[in-house]
Amino acid sequence: MNHLHDGKIKELEEQANAIRQTIIEMLIEAGSGHTAGPLGMADIFTAFYFHILNHNPKDPFFEDRDRLILSNGHIVPVRYATMAHAGYFSIDEAKTLRKFGSRMQGHPERERLPEMESTSGPLGSGLSQAAGIAYGARMDGRKFYVYCLMSDAEHQAGNLWEGAMFAGANKLSNLIGVIDRNNIQINGMTEEVMPLEPLRDKYEAFGWHVIDVDGHNIEAFVDSIEEAKAIFEVPTVIIAHTIPGKGIEGIEFDYKWHGKPPKGEEGERFLRELRTLGGKIKSEHE
């Protein structure tokens, strides 16, 4: 992996837009689920599956693959959509989200879909699991990276800080955390519900290297991963500043879109907006 050239950045941005459309289509089909978080993390998931991760959809369990642990399981539609676009399964299967008998469970389940790497949903437990994988891998001299994607609000859970303390104490530099810092949670804005700031200082106090980055600037995000990999002494956490509901005007930043899907005509409007990049493209989609 290396720095991105302009053509590749444009390609990834278009890929992220296609993934956002798939997310909306999945949520319309499902009739329930989370909208804001998945849209907000589409750029980062695109960066992971189309540039950062050492992975292979055709051989998903090879021993030295990078591990991507999704701690905040509720944003899993973005992971299903991205993995479908990456070739793990069909987009049609991704659209069986939340349906009876589907591998696309409402929250990810490793037993039904081992490519998820772990089961998650209850918040605050992913970082510790990622730390356990990183610890075991280091014991055996393995070189892969363990990435843990977290929400911001799950930093209100004690288990998460136990994991942060453990990873810091054991200097797990093969562990890279990514926080979706979108500032919203179910009951409102994080700083009003239960303040998280100063988040950077907290991680630094726990022995981590901290990077702040624009979570919608794929080039900058890829650079932040490169920086994290260059840190050999301590674990790194990337605080990715994102916009919940990114890509659809009117729902961006609105915490009320945390846990509901678009309904009926609303969904069609969202899709139209994504296809025309917010009206910037006049085409047959109009």
Partner 1 sequence: MINEDAKIHPDWLNRDELESKSTRDGYGRGVVEAGEQDERVVVLCADLAESTRSHWFKEAFPDRYIEMGVAEQNLATVASGLANYGKIPFITSYAAFSPGRNNEQIRTTISLNNVPVKICGMHAGVSVGPDGATHQQLEDIALMQAQPNMSVVVPCDVEEARKATLASAFNGKPMYLRFGRGNTPIFTTAESPFEIGKAQYIWRGGSPEAAVIACGGLVYNALIAAKELADEGISVTVLNNHTVKPMDRSAIVEAAQEAGAVVTVEEHQITSGMGSAVANILVQEYPVPMEYIGVHDTFGQSGDPDELIEHYGMGVSHIKEAVRKVISRKK
Give the binding range for partner 1 (CB under 8 A) out of 6-14, 128-136, 238-246, 263-271: 128-136
Region near partner 1 per CB under 8 A, out of 17-25, 37-45, 78-86, 123-131:
123-131
* Three-class secondary structure of residue 224 per DSSP: helix
Here the tokens at position 246 are 């990114």
State the pairing for strand pair 184-185/188-189: antiparallel
Q: Does 166 bind partner 1 (CB under 8 A)?
A: yes
Q: Which of the 8 DSSP states describes residue 102? A: -
Among 11, 162, 252, 266, binds partner 1 (CB under 8 A): 162
Among 130, 150, 196, 271, binds partner 1 (CB under 8 A): 130
Residue indicated by tokens 């915490």: 255
Name the residue among 241, 272, 245, 273 with its Cα closest to residue 257. 245
On whether the CB atoms of residues 74 and 34 are closer than 8 A, the answer is yes
Cβ of residue 223: shortest distance to partner 1, in angstroms?
A: 28
**Strands annotated E in the chain:** 67-70, 146-151, 175-181, 184-185, 188-189, 209-214, 236-241
Under rule CB under 8 A, residue 64 binds partner 1 = no
Q: What DSSP assignment string belongs to 241-252?
A: E--TTTTSTTTT
- How far apart CA 263 and CA 28 sit, in angstroms, is 6
Q: How far is the CB of 26 from partner 1 (least distance, A)?
A: 23
| Least distance in angstroms from the C-beta of 132 to partner 1 | 2
In this chain, which of 7, 101, 141, 158 binds partner 1, going by CB under 8 A? 158
Could you say whether residue 89 binds partner 1 (CB under 8 A)?
no
* Site for partner 1 contains 118 (CB under 8 A): yes
Residue 170 CB, nearest distance to partner 1 (Å)? 8
For partner 1, the binding residue among 134, 222, 228, 234 (CB under 8 A) is 134
The dihedrals phi and psi of 91, each to the nearest 5 degrees, come to -65, -30
SS3 label, residue 6: helix
Of the candidate residues 110, 143, 256, 263, the single one contacting partner 1 (CB under 8 A): 110
Q: Write down the least CB distance from residue 47 to partner 1, Å.
A: 23
Closest CB to partner 1 among residues 119, 190:
119
CA 96, 101, 105, 110 dihedral sign is negative
Q: List residues near partner 1 by CB under 8 A.
A: 69, 109-111, 117-122, 125, 128-137, 139, 158-159, 162-163, 165-166
